[in-house]
Every structure is written in structure tokens, then in C-alpha cells.
Amino acid sequence: MKAAVYYNNSDVRIQDVPTPKIGDGEILVKIAASGICGSDVMEWYRIKKAPIILGHEIAGTVVEVGAGVVRFKNGDRVTAAHHVPCNTCRHCLSGNHSVCDTLRATNFDPGGFCEYVRVPAINVDRGVFHLPESVSFVEGSFSEPLGCVIRGLRACGMEPGKTVLVIGSGMSGLLHIKVARALGAGRIAATDISDFRIEAALASGADVAVKADKDAVQKIRSGLGRGADIVVICASADSAIAQGLASVERAGAVMFFAPKAPGETYPMPLFDLWKDNITIVNSYASPPYDTMLAIDLIASGRVKVSDMVSHRLPLAETAKGFSLVAKAADSLKVVIEP
């Protein structure tokens, strides 16, 4: 089969690789849509495993079913999670699925930027979900990133009426705006350095969106009427972090959604965080519960994702897709359709 093999952000090659063979309890999925995630172009994170076939935001059709599989059959429209938890360790039992050892060790074979994916038995058991007929494959490919956003906002104590600030209005930032709006946020503010993404933030439901400049904090507080109860930092620059920490309301929460590279440090005004009783939250991955919620939000129309797709490219143009996402200029969601 054909696959897009990642060597680095500027070198993604279309190559012939073996079509995976499935075993008992497994399924083979023909990829119809695979989204390029911002983490796919974090070169410091990906290059150590290169060459590799990436792609974890997938939707497609079941074309082969292994012995013992009863919930799925050929022709089923599905989305699949690449990471799944054990559901039995102390972390899972306390709701912290993101730090489960099993979740961090599981994956499908290979990645979604190819024609076919083998889904291991453990993923089939707890990480494959039927797509409603009303949900397109492209929309279905959003279930994983949307689930990550839902999980993060839950961890922040999202409730109706709370004010929300999103720092960085790329794909994850826009999804946070949409989910916060769907969950009943009071006022929502957003920032970015790009005029294109500021406009996208307003279109996604932000009440106020401002340029991330030296006056941003004042504009944010003015637009919200006070500080933000929840600040979601979707950019890793020190300036973005500083703006977020300066914009949080007393007794609020700040979530670090975008990571820095290992070994880098964060500007943290610890006295101010202590004085104002600020909660620091981290979030990673989408446990099955949040993925199911994501599919429901898409199917019900409460979170519209189709308007976020700026580019739909064939597998042969995956390199172009990576370039678009890495530059983060005039693109939003880039989806590969093998």
C-alpha cells in the first residue's frame, strides 16, 4: 500500500509499504480521512522516531475483521483511538487515564497517513467507535482532537457561566472556543499573533479576539469584564504563557495545553499564583469517555467542525499538508484523504 513516511517536517515521502495483516480480535480499517495534528509537526518530538508513518486522527471503513470480533463488521464506518487505557490501574480508576502506562504504550499499525491501518485487539475492545450516518469521515477524524479538548476543559472545572480565555487560536484553540461555547461559557476571549486566526476565533464563537501584543492583557480583561476563570494556553512561547498567567481571575485555573520541548522552562510567577489561589492544570490525550462525548457533540451539531477544514488533500500531497501546518499561516485544519 501507499504511505506518507515522515523523515522531518520538510521531508515527507510517499513510499510503498506492506499492508498490515490482522490477527484475532483485530480489524483492518481503510482510511478515508486523517487529520494532521499540531503535534505531528513538533519536530523535536517526532524526529527521534523517524522514519515513521504518523497520523492518529482517523476515520474510515472496516474492511477485514479478525476472529472473535463481534461489535464490528465489514462496511462499518468507524473512528479509532491510537492510545487506549487499561481501565484497571490506580490512575484509570481515579480518572487519570492520561497517565496510564497502557495508554502510553498502545498504538495502531502503522499511522493514519496511509491506505490501511491495523487496529490491535485492545484498541478494538475500548477505542473503536461507530460513526453515525450523519457524521462524515472528515468530521469523524475530529473525534480524537475534540476529545482531548473536552478532557482538558473537564479537568479545569468547566461550568456554565465561567469566563474562558484561549491563548493561541490555532486548531486546538478554536476547538476550545467551540467546546466552551457548547458547554455554556459566559464570555470567551481569544488571542493570536495572526489576523487570519483572530478572525477564525471570532467565527468560532469568541466574544472578543485580540492581537497578542503588549496591550493584550488589558484588552482581555476589558473584553471579559474581569479576569478569565479558565485560561487555556495553546501556544508554548514565553510571551503567550505570561499573558495567560496575567489574565487569570483569582481562584481561576490555567491549563497548559501546548507543551514546550523537554528541558525548557516556564515563566511562573509563583508568588502571584500562590497569593491568588490559581490552579495549574495539564492535559494530555483523550480517554474513551471523552471521545464518545466528542462524537455526540459533532453528531448533534452542538460543535460544528466542518467549517474548520481549510485543506483536504490526497495522500500524494501529504508533504504539502505538513508544510501548511508547520507554517501555521493561512490554514486551519488540514485533512489527508487517502
Cα-only R_g, the chain: 20
Tell me the sheet residues that pair with 331: none
User: Please, what's the largest Cα pairwise distance for the chain?
Assistant: 61
In this predicted model, what pLDDT tens digit does every residue of 135-179 receive, in sequence order?
Answer: 999 999 999 999 999 999 999 999 999 999 999 999 999 999 999
pTM of the model: 0.95
Sequence-ordered list of residues with C-beta below 8 angstroms from that of 12, at least 6 positions apart, any chain: 4, 5, 6, 318, 319, 322
Q: What's the CA gap between 33 and 314, in Å, rounded? A: 9
**Where does 67-141 have alpha helices with state H?**
90-93, 101-105, 121-126, 137-140
In this predicted model, what pLDDT tens digit does every residue of 24-65 receive, in sequence order?
Answer: 999 999 999 999 999 999 998 899 899 999 999 999 999 999
Work out the average pLDDT over 215-231. Answer: 96
In this predicted model, what pLDDT tens digit does every residue of 257-302 receive, in sequence order?
Answer: 999 988 999 999 999 999 999 999 999 899 999 999 999 999 999 9
Q: What's the CA gap between 337 and 12, in Å, rounded? A: 16
Helix or strand holding residue 285 (H, E): none
Instruction: Please tell me the predicted confidence (pLDDT) of residue 45.
Output: 87
Cell 495572526, residue located? 194
| Alpha-carbon distances of 248 from 127, 201, 227, 272, rounded to whole Å | 35, 19, 5, 11
In this predicted model, what pLDDT tens digit does every residue of 308-318 receive, in sequence order?
Answer: 999 999 999 99
Instruction: Please tell me the predicted confidence (pLDDT) of residue 328.
Output: 81
Q: What's the CA gap between 97 and 278, in Å, rounded? A: 24
Using an 8 Å Cβ cutoff, are 254 and 248 in contact?
yes
Q: What structural domains does the chain harbor?
A: 2-142+305-337 (3.90.180.10), 148-282 (3.40.50.720)
Q: What's the CA gap between 279 and 86, in Å, rounded? A: 28
